[in-house]
Amino acid sequence: MQIPVSISRNTDVPIHEQLETNIRELIVRGDIPSDIKMPATRALKKQLQVSRNTVKTAYMNLISQGYLVTKSTSGTFVCTQLPDAKYMNLKSDSKLSCEVIEDESHSLRPSLLPGMGDSQKKSYTFGLSGIDESIVPERIWRKLLLKHLPYRSRHARYVDEFGLDILREVIASDLAPLRAMSLQPDNIIIVNDEYRAFNLVNHAILKPGDYVAVENPCDRGVVFDLERLGVNILPIPVDKNGIVVDKIPDKPVSLIYVSPSHQIPMGTKLSLKRRYRLLEWADKVDAYIVENDTFGEFCYSGNLVKPLKALDTSNRVVYVNSFSKWIGSAAKMGFLAVPYEIKHKFQGAISYLNPGPAWIDQRTAADFISSQSLFGHLRRIHQTMIDRQSAITQAITRCFGEQKLTGYKGGQHLVWHFPSEFPDASELVTSAREYNIFYWSLQNEFFFSSRSKRKPALDRCLVIGYSGLPDESIKHSIEMLERTCLRDFSINIV
């Protein structure tokens, strides 16, 4: 069997990607029917006059995406059930659906806004955690999970308290180079999520009375544990270039928490100059930097700046990352990389503070990271986040006119800076929640120091996370927000 594909050698697109795209389009259009056997790699190699590895790579990518499947001793076949259209780089007339939460108490809520109708039953959450199910790599994850399921009892008796060896090895060999880092497997600790990592760092390094610097504002989860440990929290202001290093007070600081790749919640990126300045400061005062790089893989414009860990020459950085932002919140897993000099401090605390993910989940994650599925998935989710960011900006412009939005260079959320005629963000958030639209303001959901003066402009900032909703739901919820503003605040919308 021959298939009608063509490749060009006069383009920068790799041949295996051209082949992959051509076959996928043929499958989607129905030109290659489902459950039909594909040509053998040798036959397709001969037809196209390419290397067999090129054909194998294209087939493997299509298998990981759910378009092809291998059958033992029989060959490679087109899947009978194709993946969701959201994965396809093709134009489609199909509507994207959003998983909704049925609200049984909607009859107790205020009267419906004009034109809302049955949509009152739907809940739209613009949060900062996890990704929606449509872009979770469920098929390949399930396949890898089932591969190891029969052996779980054999291997689950004991896992190194630092984590499964093979997972730490693939993080060092396959994942770290994506962020230009050089990590040693022995210095990596597998944790359930970034907050468990923060808790472990605090108990390993801090003692009551120590000084800890944090970004102001910052993720409330960062300070939640610090407040209970009896340490002195020093809020450091953040501007358009990230944390203002020169504002760190002259005190014996033990730790400083930063999110340089995409500051939570303001969405700013720490400039390269300040990164070096922060590293110099930490070395000078003998402090450790806890770098939350959860959004480091998501850079949409500008130069990709290396994480602090990649620039650190004095071993001052404790690096933290989480898999949930690109695998899904169901994969509660992440890791931290600690300097060798303080690794011993984690030995005592790790056994009772970090039970760690299950063996089978760690083994599945190791296979996923080391396979070619990871890179294809990262490309898809990267493009999906760009599309959703664009959907938000277009919907806001269409409904409210030109508005100031920041944080668009990376991450998975934007910050909407309201003009003067808008109410405080907390008021709009409260009003929108009455209609099952869930946004986040800076006043209540994020940490601010009560001792610091907050600029009034920050009270009119709305945080819009876009990883958990498809494009159509984003557009619809922004339109409902417009109606909320017209009804409850009489805003003169252009």
What pLDDT digit, counting tens, does each position of 328-342 carry?
A: 766 778 999 999 999
Which is it for strands 211-216 and 253-258: parallel, antiparallel or unpaired? Answer: parallel
The average confidence (pLDDT) of the chain is 81
Nearest to 403 by CA among 465, 476, 460, 477: 460
| Residue-level pLDDT at 80 | 80
CA dist 461 and 446 (Å) reads 12
| Residue-level pLDDT at 113 | 33
In words, the CATH class of domain 15-83 is mainly alpha
Length of the chain in residues, anyone? 494
| Residue-level pLDDT at 20 | 87
Please determine, for residue 17, whether its predicted confidence score (pLDDT) is greater than 50.
Answer: yes
| Residue-level pLDDT at 486 | 75
Residues 405-422, mean pLDDT to the nearest whole number: 88
Nearest 5°: phi and psi at 203? -75, -25
Question: Lowest-confidence range among 76-90, 274-288, 416-430, 471-485?
Answer: 76-90
E strand or H helix that includes residue 463: strand 461-465
User: Between the ranges 51-60, 122-131, 150-159, 285-294, where is the mean pLDDT highest?
Assistant: 285-294
HEC string of 183-246?
A: CCHHHEEEECCHHHHHHHHHHHHCCCCCEEEEEECEEHHHHHHHHHHCCEEEEEEEECCEECHH
| Residue-level pLDDT at 123 | 72
Question: Lowest-confidence range among 179-183, 405-409, 477-481?
Answer: 477-481
Other CB atoms within a 10 A radius of the CB of residue 355 amount to 13
Residues 360-387, mean pLDDT to the nearest whole number: 85
Name residue 68's beta-bridge partners: 78
User: Between the ranges 93-97, 366-370, 423-427, where is the mean pLDDT highest?
Assistant: 366-370
Residues sharing a CB contact under 8 Å with residue 13, sequence separation 6 or more, in sequence order: none
Tell me if 364 sits within 8 A of 170, measured CB to CB: no
CA geometry: angle 130, 131, 137, nearest 5 deg = 115
3-state secondary structure of 367: helix
- Token pair, residue 64, equals 């990981």
| % the chain with pLDDT above 70 | 84
Region for residue 374 given its phi and psi (left: phi exceeds 0; alpha: psi -120 to 50; beta: otherwise): alpha
Nearest to 94 by CA among 480, 477, 479, 470: 470
| Residue-level pLDDT at 99 | 33
Q: Which residue has tokens 């210095």?
A: 187
Asked if omega into 423 is within 30° of 0 (cis), the reply is: no
- Token pair, residue 268, equals 């700013």
CA dist 303 and 301 (Å) reads 7
| Residue-level pLDDT at 312 | 96
Every domain of the chain and the residues it spans: 15-83, 106-135+375-488, 138-371
- Token pair, residue 372, equals 């070619």
| Residue-level pLDDT at 96 | 30
E strand or H helix that includes residue 125: strand 124-125
3-state secondary structure of 149: helix
CA dist 346 to 48, 161, 206, 263, 369, Å? 55, 10, 11, 27, 25
Tell me if 26 sits within 8 A of 32, measured CB to CB: yes
| Residue-level pLDDT at 280 | 96
In words, the CATH class of domain 106-135+375-488 is alpha beta
Instruction: State the pLDDT confidence band at 114, using cuts at 50, 70 and 90.
Output: very low
Residues 141-164, mean pLDDT to the nearest whole number: 74
Please determine, for residue 50, whether its predicted confidence score (pLDDT) is greater than 60.
Answer: yes
Q: 52-65 and 373-400 helices cross at what angle (nearest 10)?
A: 50
Sequence-ordered strand ranges (E) for 316-441? 317-322, 334-337, 404-406, 413-417, 437-438, 440-441
CA dist 181 and 320 (Å) reads 13
Q: What is the dihedral of CA 135, 140, 141, 147, to 10 degrees?
A: 170
CA dist 320 and 199 (Å) reads 12
Which is it for strands 253-258 and 288-292: parallel, antiparallel or unpaired? Answer: parallel
Residues 306-314, mean pLDDT to the nearest whole number: 94
Tell me if 164 sits within 8 A of 359, measured CB to CB: yes
Residues 467-486, mean pLDDT to the nearest whole number: 81
| Residue-level pLDDT at 205 | 93
Tell me if 349 sits within 8 A of 200, measured CB to CB: yes
Q: Going by CATH, does the domain composed of 138-371 fall within 3.40.50.720? A: no
Sequence-ordered strand ranges (E) for 294-436? 317-322, 334-337, 404-406, 413-417
Instruction: State the pLDDT confidence band at 253, using cuts at 50, 70 and 90.
Output: very high
pTM tops 0.85, yes or no: no
| Residue-level pLDDT at 118 | 39
